[in-house]
Amino acid sequence: MKDRYGRELEDLRITLTHVCNFSCFFCHMEGEGDLYVNGLTPDEIELVAEVSKEYGIKYVKLTGGEPTLRRDLTEIIYRLRNLGLEVSMTTNGYMLSKIASKLKEAGLNRVNISLHTLDKEKFKKITGVDGMDRVIEGIKEAINVGLKPVKLNFVATKMNINEAFNVIDFAEKIGVNELHLIELHPVGMGKIAFSYHEKLNNLENVLKEKALREGTRNKHYRPRFYLPSGLVVEIVKPYANPIFCSGCNRIRLTVDGKLKTCLYRDDNSIEILNILRSNLDKYHKMQLLKEAFDVAIAIREPNFKYII
């Protein structure tokens, strides 16, 4: 089903928790603010995902906070896969060396692992944790167990932009499939950290030179560069970018039970926790959830758009 701007939904991004074992200085907290509430239960998540399929959702992305801190993560993955959805997760990678094989067994298809530097001291400055070696072990284990494609997320700031090509080299050497170069968003702590913002234009120009070919992903019309090594580098530049918004096919399920229609907007969400926690039976809950999806699609709009 398309929204008023002709955009189909495909992708449901679910915040499982806001608890995190890292404290990245720029964290956008998925645009949800500092919410330390218990996340939705596996039953509740499954029900929303089941309804979302009727609205075109094919892919689910699990995020946080740190999703690997949820004890019931394998159960959630298993249930989502059982619905026929493709399931991926964004993680800081700290727990992966221990749990990647369990996640793969539960049905996790692929993974994005955040790695913003290869300098241990800088890693500690960015994340608040002396954990770079352990994250690198996690990345290797994700590759080892076949969570394919393994993607790295590199958020570029003044602190680390000079390292982008080191991280690209590293990704190529260890067999990572994709790397996302992400521009800092002024959302959550990213508003305070925005003085560290750096444009990606220069990096993009170098990538143009190095790439065998360029492409565009359907999602957000993100530019993609295919390097001779086989690594794909994708550019993620949402801020003040109407092209990005015009290709947005995502809806979010927040940790406190809302359908959130845009990372940047607090005023375009639909409360569904009251439906999920009501005494109604499954059929009637699903009917109300469908109404909530109808409204969410009706109010969904690009945050950045061309004004003619």
Does 222 sit near ligand SAM (CB under 6 A)? no
166 Ramachandran zone, left/alpha/beta (phi>0; psi -120 to 50): alpha
Does 184 sit near ligand SAM (CB under 6 A)? yes
**Cβ closest to ligand SAM, residue 64 vs residue 247:** 64
Does 114 sit near ligand SAM (CB under 6 A)? yes
Instruction: Write out the two tokens for 94.
Output: 């700290």
One residue of 28, 70, 79, 220 binding ligand SAM per CB under 6 A: 28
Segment 46 to 75, residues that bind ligand SAM, using CB under 6 A: 63-64, 66
Closest CA to 147 of 93, 97, 111: 111
C-alpha–C-alpha distance, residues 7 and 33, integer Å: 26
Instruction: Report the nearest approach of ligand SAM to the CB of residue 116 (Å).
Output: 7
| Residue 27 is assigned to a ligand binding site | yes
Rounded to 5 degrees, φ, ψ at 293 are -65, -40
| Residues ≥6 apart with Cβ < 8 Å to 130 | 120, 123, 124
Neighbours of 162 (CB within 10 A): 11
| Residue 151 is assigned to a ligand binding site | yes
Stretch that binds ligand SAM, among 24-32, 132-140, 143-151, 290-298 (CB under 6 A): 24-32
User: How buried is residue 288: exposed, middle or buried, by Cβ count under 10 Å (0-12/13-18/19+)?
Assistant: middle
Does 26 sit near ligand SAM (CB under 6 A)? yes
Sign (positive or negative) of CA dihedral 107, 110, 114, 118: positive
Instruction: Report the nearest approach of ligand SAM to the CB of residue 191 (Å).
Output: 8
164 Ramachandran zone, left/alpha/beta (phi>0; psi -120 to 50): alpha
Segment 77 to 106, residues that bind ligand SAM, using CB under 6 A: 90-92
Instruction: Report the nearest approach of ligand SAM to the CB of residue 120 (Å).
Output: 17
**Cβ closest to ligand SAM, residue 45 vs residue 155:** 155
One residue of 76, 77, 176, 182 binding ligand SAM per CB under 6 A: 182
Residues 92, 95, 96, 100, Cα dihedral to 10°: -130
Length of the chain: 308
Instruction: Report the nearest approach of ligand SAM to the CB of residue 111 (Å).
Output: 10
Does 190 sit near ligand SAM (CB under 6 A)? yes
Write out the residues near ligand SAM by the rule CB under 6 A.
20, 26-28, 30, 63-64, 66, 90-92, 114, 153, 155, 182, 184-185, 187, 190
Q: Which residues define the annotated binding site for [4Fe-4S] cluster?
A: 20, 24, 27, 245, 248, 262
